[in-house]
Chain A
Amino acid sequence: MSWLNKAASDTQITHRSRLWLYCLATVIMLLLVIPTFIVIPMSFSDSQYLEFPPKVWSLRWYEEYIGSAKWMRATATSLKIAVLTMLVATPLGTMAAYALFVSGHRAARAVFVLLITPMIVPVILIAIGTFYAFGKMGLNNSITGLVLAHTALATPLVMIVITAALRSYDLDQERVARSLGATRLQAFFVITLPQIKFSVITSALLAFLTSFDEVIVSIFVSGGKTATLTKHMFSALRDYIDPTIAAISTIMVLISTILLLVTQRIGSRKKPD
């Protein structure tokens, strides 16, 4: 094991004396990942009580989920709201991020801070506040209201991703295009957008997940026919442990894993090293 005696860092510390760090980091990484994946085998159990490993394997809880009109309606609602949120928040956030980044206006920074307030204000306040205000505006239990609220939560994320992308992008390219006669709009769509498109896609996926996974605002603002998947899951969790949730969780974990891997793929294509 000559590898153990090789230098592991800039201070010539050997891998051997670093072994504790490697073990510790491995344990922490396992602790991070296991709770995310543990629900997958459990969801295929036949038992009422969530066992691990399952004694009898079955698709019972998936059948329960697919057979239930309540769960299916909630899933459709959540998907609809998430897609709409993505379609609204991505252009809104991208436009705002671009505008504030390029404009040298004194107010730009203040507007930026204003736009990321949803990240600072505790979500519970946004939830009860919108519940109250939407009540007056007749927006509670409506798709419009939920999409509006989720857009507010997702826009700051989009803005932060796009601003980071613009920072590592050379804006002079756009100036060159404009000096050659392109309008600002043309320059943006032809020169800038293609170069930040991967960040735009990443931010769109983030916006989708933000809405799809959102719990607190949904608990308050959605209800009846527009109740979201997370709202039903939350009430099911508070009352008793319904194994159907294991099946739904598995599907949600798969969706996040796929979306994450897509963004990682995109990221590695963006900067080949």
Chain B
Amino acid sequence: MAASAGSRLKHADALKRQNRLEQWTLLGLAAPALVVIVLVVLIPVGWLFYLSFLGGDGQFSLENYQKMLKYKSYARTFMTTFQVSILTTLICILIGYPLAYFLAQLPNRIAGLFMLTVLLPFWTSLLVRTYAWLVLLQRKGILNDFAIQIGLWDSPVKLVHNMTGTLIGMAHIMLPFLVLPLYNAMKKIDRDLMQAASNLGATPTRAFWQIYFPLSMPGMVAGSLIVFVLCLGFYVTPAVLGGGRVIMVATQITAILENQYDWGAASALGVVLLVATILVLILASRLFKLDSALFGKG
């Protein structure tokens, strides 16, 4: 008896060891990817973190962060960044919700066809789309010509190189990031629920607001969060369509490097941007239990 129990233990041990070995081997398969991420993201960003705490004399100091509190231009940049991010997210929700709802109601095959209109911009270079808006919105652009022709306004309106142009371009670029998760969430809503609501006498409007809308919330929150976080660090579109009038954090970081070559100040600004992004993500995932919506099975 004792002998067989002992050998069983030995076998169990061997199995466990083999299992552990295999787990480590598998984990090893992720190592090359990890090396690249460490080289390109973790070390450089860590380095910036370190630089942000170096003063002009090379000693540890908080002067880069104190500068941010001292000069008004920093506060203005952060205000603009949040303003643009919040407005873009709101515009995307207003436009994206009806579109996602429309697509979710269609039979799969047709929805797939219409979905191309969302996927195509998603796959097209951001630079190309920003350029297209620049062309559309300029003083002698198509939009101004068209509006004057149909009598919407008399003389060309300044639509670009300002906040308006930035918001239009940003909303266009961000829309797919909202529509895709929202559409997926809507597709998961059990259709029987709406039929049941209708059977029990709810009007279509009431059924929508009481049943459908709350159930689509996880998708909307996840989509809005992605849009908001992407907006916070956005560079290309505000730089081109804002024409120097819409200064966001990313724009200012580049400007500091180009004009003053001040790595400490640029890094500090970058660290604040990163911390803000992470805070938004943590807060949102606490508030809405987002893990599963963002990372799949969680």
Residues on A lying within 8 angstroms of B by beta carbon are 8-13, 17, 21-22, 24-25, 28-29, 31-33, 35-36, 38-39, 42, 49-50, 52, 92-93, 95-96, 98-100, 102-105, 107-108, 111-115, 117-118, 120-126, 128-130, 132-134, 148-149, 151-152, 155, 159, 163-164, 167, 184, 209, 212-213, 215-216, 230, 233-234, 237-238, 241, 245-246, 249, 252-253, 256-257, 259-260, 264, 268, 273
A38-B129 Cα distance, complex, nearest whole Å: 10
State whether A238 and B132 are in contact (beta carbons under 8 Å apart), knowing that A24-B98, A32-B118, A149-B40 are contacts in the complex. no
Interface size on B, residues (CB 8 A): 94
Contacts A50-B135, A241-B135 hold; do A10 and B117 have CB atoms under 8 A apart?
no
Could you say which residues of chain A place their CB within 8 Å of the CB of B296?
163-164, 167
Chain B residues closer than 8 Å to A213, beta-carbon distance? 125-127
In contact, A129 and B34 (Cβ under 8 angstroms): no
- Picked from B33, B45, B118, B123, the residue with its CB within 8 Å of the CB of A125 is B45
A-B pairs with beta carbons under 8 Å apart, 15 shown: A11-B203, A25-B99, A29-B117, A95-B32, A99-B28, A107-B27, A121-B277, A125-B273, A128-B267, A129-B44, A133-B44, A151-B36, A237-B130, A259-B123, A260-B116
Q: How many A-B residue pairs have CB under 8 A?
A: 265
Contact with A along B210-227 (1 / 0, CB 8 A): 000000000000000000
Q: Decide: A114 and B274 in contact? CB cutoff 8 A.
A: no
A92 to B31, CA, bound (A): 9
Bound Cα distance A238, B240 (Å): 6
Closest Cβ of chain A: how far from B135's Cβ, in Å?
A: 5
Q: Can you name the residue of chain B whose Cβ is closest to the Cβ of A26?
A: B102
Q: What is the CA–CA distance of A241 and B130 in the complex, to the nearest angstrom?
A: 12
Would you call B197 and A123 a contact (CB within 8 A)? no
Q: Does B86 contact A (CB under 8 A)?
A: no
Shortest Cβ-Cβ A-B pairs, 9 listed:
A122-B233, A129-B44, A99-B29, A152-B40, A25-B102, A103-B26, A10-B194, A213-B125, A96-B33
The reply to whether B127 and A237 form a contact with Cβ atoms under 8 Å apart is yes
